[in-house]
Structure 1
Amino acid sequence: MTSVSTVTASLAPLNVSFDEPSPVAWPSTYTLSSISDYPFGPPQDISIEAYVERRYLECLWMPEILEPLTALVPALQRVTPASDWTPNAGPHPLHSVLDEHLLSLVDIHTKYRKTIPALLEKEGDAQDAEEACIFYAWTHAQPTDESVNEEKWGKEWLYEAEKREILMQILLRMLKLTLPPPPVPKRKRRKDKVAPEPSPYEETVSSLEMLVDRIGIIRQTATSTVKNDQAKAAGKGDAIGRDWAAVFCEDVLKPLFKESLPEQYETLRYHCLPPPSRDVSPARSESSIIDFPQSQSQSIPQQLSRSLSRTTSISSRSGTLNARSLSRISTSQSRSRSGSVEPDPDVRDRSRSVSFASRSAGGIRAPVKAGVRPRGGRVKPKQLSAAPGASKLCKSIFFELQICTYDIFKREFLPQ
């Protein structure tokens, strides 16, 4: 496998142009005294690693108005390999430099819940470029109002920094997915098993999904008051009323990755944008109102009252008809057994089915209960495995049986 150092890279020129001579006269003796403590000096010919680190730290710790998220990916895309580069020669040079700044959710939690708070408490000298950026951002973000609770403000400041780190980590991973995949290291395969070929972006996609889920959790757990206050403080409120996640999705992700990474973009859009609200029932218009003739409109209440009274009379007669049908079926059943009267074959089949269902459900001719002495017989022993609550089941089955019997009786004997 070819090492990363053999792949040469360079910075593409900026796609901007300036008028010469400049329409605004720039004083030759002007100095940037107000930002003398800025961690970085004027841009010079630096290495690719130093350039990517600077862009990452400035976008993370500087205000959005100076270093917007929309400018991070285009700035990193300036890192290009040589003109004669091919994927067989080695991985894209951005892979290695981006990997140095990728953080997992555990790393982010440790960084903003333990490392940075401890760093701000001791207030020592910066040991590296990121610590210098942290001190610079912390110092210049201090509130001027003395009534502000410093402890609460510090927690909110760290919360916003952690949230921005998550958004930047998503951008770095999606940028990696747009690059040509790096070669996958070969693994030893067993002779008896055919192992599937691992994807070069399997770990990147997995960590990206975890970060996307984290965005959804932040949006759901933050209260509406906190969301509004943070949006106002960050200056991200707009006329549409979008929150920070919707702004990130529509203003940052959509122009960069909607075409190149449609699947990942739709997943992020699902977690970033709020669910669509239900449409309010439209007001009734003249076209939705049905005009009836005068005679027909007068007859509608009469028809409704007639149908209501008819339904009431049928329901009042249902109990009497149900009892009569059951007694008639049981009478025909006893006569068919004695042999004195031969009922109709259809009625006999129906009576047999009703009698069998009644026995199985413990209804009209239920078996002898355990522990009760029948006439002229022995006591039936109690069964320990009797299921509790069987009586309720029998009652419900018997009730359904009565309804079925009434339906049969209505079809056969009542006029249609």
Structure 2
Amino acid sequence: MSTASLCGISCVTSSHSRRIILRSGSNQVTERRVYLDHAATSWPKPPGVLEACLEFHRDLGVAASRGAYLRGEQTDRAIAQVRSKLSRFLHLDDAYRVAWTSNGTMAIHAAIHSVLWQTDLRGEHVVTTATEHNSVLRTLADLQERRGLRWTMVPCDARGWVDPDAIEQAICSDTKLVIVNHASNVTGVVQDLERIGRIVANSDAWWMLDAAQSIGYVDFDPRSLGIDLVVAPAHKGLGGMFGTAFVVAAPEVVPSLRSPWVGGTGRSSGTWTGPFEWLESVESGNLNGPSIASLGAALQSASTRSMADFQAKASDWLSRLRHQIARYASLRLVGYPDGPEDLQQVSRVPVLSFSSRTLGSHEMAMLLDSAMGLECRSGLHCAGAIHPFLGTDPQDGTLRMSFGHATSEADVDAAIQGIRLLGEVNA
């Protein structure tokens, strides 16, 4: 067993194990914080977002659709305005219905169950992909076990890219729903929505898009693409706060959607007997008015940014980090089978994952946090199905760095220094 010290962290290497044990001589960590986990949530928030939340509490602070008094009506109007802002941001009109939920996972559950609401789902079929969030895959597996749903998971390649032709081959005459994750939270790869849209349009299936990792970074038009349902949280690329997500439904499909669960009293109807209109059922209970108000401010800020300019800048950041990782034999890029040059040039959101043969996931994250104040995501979370296709070894530690609109050049420089530290520790 040997011991070395880097940045005040003792690294104890055992000859009988690939693992390195990190020991810190102090509970103190560096004062500087460099946030590199934007794929989990954005931070800091854009100007006006926190203020909008506080303003709602201070000036309104009442429940929506609960009373005819002035502040109740003002609350209703404020929330309706955010619905309209979101529709405009997505190039839609108010014929599209925006249903609020408490988080992205709940939005996914609401959308899937609104389509697949029947007690007996034998005869119904769903197509999805290996890049999906676990909340999609677990929901489909549960519906298979309890209600007889059949579903097909289309594989991805070593980049996390899904071939649209494989989706076309998976669609059959009884396919009810096609679910596509727009951008991978592991490799950042963005799927080809135009080709997928043309394929789904030639079937009788509906199309649901999980835009959790793309909205705010990649511009897309659900109407022109033929997307029936869009789900996303407010707090990631848009820069809103926790507590709000949404399902956006095309007007053509809304009449066929059903209550995804048994709700409480309808906010607008005031009755418990139902049947409730679809949106009212999804939103059963009090809405998170402050969080919705903060989304309105975040959308206002997002509308002033150029997504194309950000993508160009982020592409340069990813290239710099990839080439730094490639300098160390003990570190391996995840989702780049061609190496750091990325010869196939697929579009990506600013997410980069890599693995280590020596350090565990948490060990890498703890080292960067304690030694340099870098806040990164340890492990490849919420996307278990993609791992075999990426060739990642379950025994290897993995780390994800992701960037957002608040990321600075200094943050990227710090990330490169962090990779250098990990490479030296591994060596």
* TM-score normalized with structure 2 length: 0.19
Structure with greater proportional helix content: 1
Q: Based on CA coordinates, which of the two structures has the bigger radius of gyration?
A: 1
Structure with greater proportional strand content: 2
* TM-score normalized with structure 1 length: 0.20
